[in-house]
Structure formats: C-alpha cells, structure tokens
Structure 1
Amino acid sequence: MNDDEKQQVADDERDFEEELRELLAEDAYTIRPSAAPYPQIRRRGALERRRRVAVAGAALATLAAVPAAVYGLGAGSAQGSTAAAPTPSASAPASREASPTPSAEPDRAGAALFDGITYDQARDGLEHCMDSEFTRDRPGGPGLAPPDAYAIVLAMRSTGDSNAPGDGVFVVAQADDRERSSLICRLKDGVTQGITAFTDDSGAIPDEGAVLVNPNSNRLFQQSVLDHGRWRLPFRWAVIGTAKPSVARVTVAYGDARAEATVNDGRFVASGVLNEQVTRTPHIKGYDAGGELVYDSDDDKYFDKALP
C-alpha cells in the first residue's frame, strides 16, 4: 500500500469516526436529554398530537409493498417542472426581502405538481400508498383518513440521501375530515417506501403565531442529518403548514431559493429548488390582505431556525 492509499484509508476512518460520534451523541441526547427551555417544553407538549403517528422509513423498506407506476423523472428533472418553478437568486441571503415567484400553478384539485409528475400519476401513487403494507392493517387509525377523503396538494421529486438512497417521489395529501388528516408518502421506483400520517391541531398553543409550520415538513425540506453540509444538489424541497384566516399570503425563503405558497382553507404549501448548502431552516413570512407582515418565523419562539 503506497502513501496515498494509506492516507485515503486514514481519511475514511476519520470520517467514519466522526459520523459515529454524531450518532452516539444523538442517541445519548434521546436517552438523557438536557434541560429544555420552557417554550420548547410547551411546544413539544402542545404539538404532540401533530407528530407523525404512522411512520415508515428506510429501515422498513424491506416490507412488502404494492408497486405503482414508475414515474418518468428523466435527466434534468431535478429542476424541471410541469409548471412555473421559483427562480433562485444565486447569492441572496435568506433574510433578504424578495418578490418570490409562485411555486407552481395549481393543477386538478388545487395540487402543486413538479418535476414532470402528472396529477394522474400522483393520484395513482397515493392509492398505492394507501393500499400498501404500511396502512393495510390500520384502517381508520389515528391520523389516517379513508383513501377517498384525501385530496392531493403536492407531488414532487424526492432526493435520495445516505439514510434513504435513491431518488423517488413525494406525494402530499390532505383530507377535510374532522381531524383534518394529512399524509406524506414517499415512493421509489413505484414502491411505497414510507408514510407519515398526522392531524391538524392548530390552535393547541395559546400564543402560537398566525402561521404554523407542520413539524413533519422536515421530511420535505431537509436531507439526512448524516449528510449535514453535504446535501445532494439541486434539491427539491417543500414546506407545509397552517395559516390563520388573517393570513392572505405566505412566502418562503430557503438558501438561494424563493417561493410563494399556495394558501387554501387555512393550509399552505410551498416548494422550490435549492442550489446551495444551508444550515438554517426555511424563513417563512405571512401577510394579511393589505400586505402587512403578520408573521415572521425569525420571531417565532416555537420554530426551530437551525437545521440539526
């Protein structure tokens, strides 16, 4: 083994040790957490019902799932779209004011469709997700509405990372049932990889802001914590949440990307394409019908500003 090969082995071992330390640190925090400030404690308690109640990740991908049609995401689809995508600014900071380009023109049932995914393909993917092993044994379970109750609000490319290798598709659907159920489904090569189901519990925090980002959005706007600072780019991202009646417009800035959210029936969804590494979560602002700023995530004590 020559000197270059020895150095490469040493570098690989160092990288492995660093990732192992991160994992051990995360596990240690989970088992014995440090004292949390009061707002964080309240946020965790008040939003507990909104946390995912049906989670299936890469570790469960070996379970049998019903195949769906393979979506055509050809070369360049990471930035392509069936509708107008946001035009990123090459070096604009997240806090700079901007006039965002709409995330997408609404398609059938108000769905925002990106990366060449059609409404019929998204609907087909949703049906297969609802008929997969992840949901078949829990009909009517908490946070899971009947299949025909869901309307598709977003379909986009899912960028693979070290925790969930391989690109796929995200389908986000929402229902108008009593609990206002929502779900995020990820498919890869037409096979359901996992489902996150949750309910809308806005109003649970007495002093919550006019806009509330759903905590499950992190599945849509970040890659694995193991890849911190080394995300695959370009990266299609999205943010979902709720907005009070006073909010007429929601904008999102994320790294070099800007997006205008679609706001409908007290819910919002926004999507864009990231072309730079980031360390902070999306910056969200809400405006009333007169254009006055009524929400800024920078001032929201319940919203985490830093990526893990």
Structure 2
Amino acid sequence: MSGQKQAGATEPEFEARVRALLAGDASLVRPSAVPYPEIRRRGVLERRRRLAVGGAALAALAAVPVGAYALGGGSTTTSPAGPSPTVLTSGRPAPTLSASASASASASASASAPTSASPPAPSTPSATSTAPARPASPAHQLLDGITFDQAADGLGKCLDYNKAHRLPKDPAYIDLGRPADYRIILAMRSTGDSNAPGDGYFVVAVRQKPTPVRLICTVKDGKAEGLNTSGGDPFGDAGTAVVPDINSGKLYQQSVIDKGNWKLPFRWGIIGGYRASVATMTVSYGGDAGEVVLDHGWFVATGTLHKQVTAAPHLKGYDAAGKLVYDSDHDASYEKTLP
C-alpha cells in the first residue's frame, strides 16, 4: 500500500479492506494478559524471605548475654544490665542458666575449642603447691578434730619458730626448710601439765631431702612452742626391725612432776621407724590396745589412756606371714618404764 488505490477496487471496498488490515495489526500487537498468579506467588515468597531474615536477627539479639557474671573468691556478681538471659533455641525458651552452670558450660567449651588462635596462658601454681604431703591414713593420723589445713598451718609456724629462735652464728643450727618438704604423719591434741600448762596440739612431720629430719612441735594459742627435731637415719646402728623414736616420749608422757596424777583421759602417741620385713604392728598402753599405722617407713601408734601408768607403751611387729619380728620387751635400747 503506497497510498494509491488498488486497481479495480471501489472506494467503499478499499476503506473496508483498510479497516480490516488495521484491525488485524492491532490484534497482533495487543499485550498479553497480566500474570496475576505468578506475581502473587513471588510476593508471598519475598514476604517469607523477609520474615525469615527478621526472625534470625531477633534470635541473634536474644542470644546476646544481657547479664554478665564474675566468678572469683567464692562470690557471684551480676552486672547492672539485668538478670541472666533466657536463650531461645529452635523457637522455644531454654532454662535460665545460673552463674555456676554458665561457668561450667564455658569451661567445657573452652576445653574443647582449639587453642592455636592464641598462646596458652601461663600455668598458675595451685594453692597446695607449698603445702606438706598428707599422711597415709588421715582418719587415723589426724586426730581429735584437727584438720589437715590446721596441721599444715601448725607446721609452718613451727618452721618459722625455728628460724626466729636461731642464735647468731650457731654452728648447730639446721635450716629445716619449707612445709612442702615434709609429710605430716601425726596431729593430735596435747594435754597441758605442771611443767607446760595449757592445752594445744602436736604436729609431727618428717622429710627425706635434702637431709632426713623428724620434727615434733606443740602449737598453743596459735603459736609454736617446744620444737623438737632429730636428723639422719632413724635406725642409726640399731639392728632391730622396729626402732621407736627416742624423743617420742613427749607424745605419751605428762610431766615427771605430775607422776601418778596425770590428767585423764590422755591422748597419747608414739612414732618410730620400721623395716621392710614388718607388715603389721600392735601397741598397748595401760592395758588398752591402740592403733598403729605404717606410713612410708614410719610407724604411728596412738590411743587414749584412762588410768595412771608406770610402764611405757608395748610394741610388737610381725612379718607378712604373721611371725613376730619385734617385741619392745626384748629391745635393750627401749625404755620400758616411765621415769
């Protein structure tokens, strides 16, 4: 169509054909219908995505601790920000954690986490690193309600007492070392008498290095008194299977001044060395049987006296087969009667 009429076409026919062609072209260029279902589906998905993102953000905010805990010295403190948080897990509130539970959980997580990100903190010496060693049987060697901490404290005061009473340029002075060098083998109450009034408690401790030392000390009113020590091999040149300590009489005697008038009941003890051939021991004092503990080469015999006596404790030692290998009645070096 170049603007000229087609040959043989009349005016009405030409106009009719033009209108028909225009109508056909219009139908070809008409836009398709709006896809409402697809638009709605995409809108729903977008709203769900935004809700999911918002929910995750709220959960992250809820997981941030609101309360901070400081644990130390046995106390618990909470920051002014508020109480401990309730953590949301899978959309449900988890139980509120106490400070101690939080600390335990943190410690567990820290233990399982890799440490390559930062160097480990230097180790801190434990509170007991300067304390003496414990006895083999605390129930039978820490007596009369005396705790290990009390016995250890008494030992420390005894060692300080030794240093404080050192004479200038004393050639006989022996540095007794630190509490950590020792093992406590006995702690029991002490009974005051006419010579040393006032009750207290005894601490008996031994060490092996740098030189062997046996220490007997009395603690009264929180102060060390009457320190007695001996050094070297407790057996000396003795050939017996058991060697009672020559100075342990202070543990089973009251003052000679009070002979026949001792304060009763009287807690007593006796210590000494035993050889590997000894498997068990027995002791009796005043006709009553006592208890004996074997502790790393030292025997510790204790009991309670209920009557006046004139004879020292009677000791016996047996080997693993039950054979008698020591009897204090047959030991020429053992003082069998009291002074």
Contact 1:287 1:294 in 2 (8 A): yes
**In structure 1, distance between residues paired with 2:252 and 2:229:** 17
Write out per-residue CA displacement over residues 204-257 of structure 1, whole angstroms, 9 at most, x where no aligned residue: 325x31100001101100001111111110000000000011011121110033
Q: Report the counterpart of residue 257 of structure 1 in structure 2.
A: 288
Contact 2:291 2:303 in 1 (8 A): no
Contact 1:144 1:198 in 2 (8 A): no
**In structure 2, distance between residues paired with 1:229 and 1:115:** 24
Write out per-residue CA displacement over residues 117-164 of structure 1, whole angstroms, 9 at most, x where no aligned residue: 1111111111122112x3335599438343320111111000011100
**In structure 2, distance between residues paired with 1:200 and 1:249:** 24
Q: Report the counterpart of residue 119 of structure 1 in structure 2.
A: 148
**In structure 2, distance between residues paired with 1:305 and 1:143:** 33
1:276 paired with 2:307, answer yes
**In structure 1, distance between residues paired with 2:318 and 2:135:** 25
**In structure 2, distance between residues paired with 1:214 and 1:143:** 21
Contact 1:152 1:174 in 2 (8 A): yes
1:187 paired with 2:216, answer no
User: Any residues of structure 2 matched to 1:181-220 within 5 Å, and which?
Assistant: 181-205=213-237, 208-220=239-251
Deviation at 1:278, TM superposition (A): 0.3
Q: How many residue pairs were aligned?
A: 200
**In structure 2, distance between residues paired with 1:226 and 1:274:** 18
Write out per-residue CA displacement over residues 7-65 of structure 1, whole angstroms, 9 at most, x where no aligned residue: xxxxxxxxxxxxxxxxxxxxxxxxxxxxxxxxxxxxxxxxxxxxxxxxxxxxxxxxxxx
Deviation at 1:262, TM superposition (A): 1.0
Q: Name structure 1 gaps, 5 residues minimum.
A: 1-106
1:170 paired with 2:199, answer no
**Gap change, CA 1:246 and 1:220, over 3 Å in 2:** same
TM-score of the aligned structures, taking structure 2 as reference length? 0.56
The aligned amino acid for 1:216 is N
**In structure 1, distance between residues paired with 2:185 and 2:319:** 22
Percent identity at matched positions? 50
User: Any residues of structure 2 matched to 1:1-308 within 5 Å, and which?
Assistant: 108-110=134-136, 111=138, 112-132=141-161, 134-136=162-164, 138=166, 141-142=173-174, 144-205=176-237, 208-308=239-339
The aligned amino acid for 1:258 is A
SS in 2 for 1:230: coil
**Gap change, CA 1:151 and 1:138, over 3 Å in 2:** farther
**Higher normalized contact order (CA 8 Å, seq sep 6+, divided by chain length):** 1
Q: Report the counterpart of residue 13 of structure 1 in structure 2.
A: none
The aligned amino acid for 1:214 is D
**Gap change, CA 1:200 and 1:282, over 3 Å in 2:** farther
Contact 1:212 1:242 in 2 (8 A): yes
The aligned amino acid for 1:153 is I
**In structure 2, distance between residues paired with 1:164 and 1:137:** 19
**In structure 2, distance between residues paired with 1:150 and 1:119:** 13
Contact 2:235 2:243 in 1 (8 A): no
Superposed CA RMSD in Å reads: 2.1
The aligned amino acid for 1:186 is T
SS in 1 for 2:248: helix
Structure 1 segments (4+ residues) deviating >4 Å: 137-140
**In structure 1, distance between residues paired with 2:234 and 2:146:** 30
**In structure 2, distance between residues paired with 1:194 and 1:293:** 36
TM-score of the aligned structures, taking structure 1 as reference length? 0.61
Larger radius of gyration: 2
**Gap change, CA 1:241 and 1:145, over 3 Å in 2:** farther
**In structure 1, distance between residues paired with 2:148 and 2:178:** 19
Deviation at 1:170, TM superposition (A): 0.4
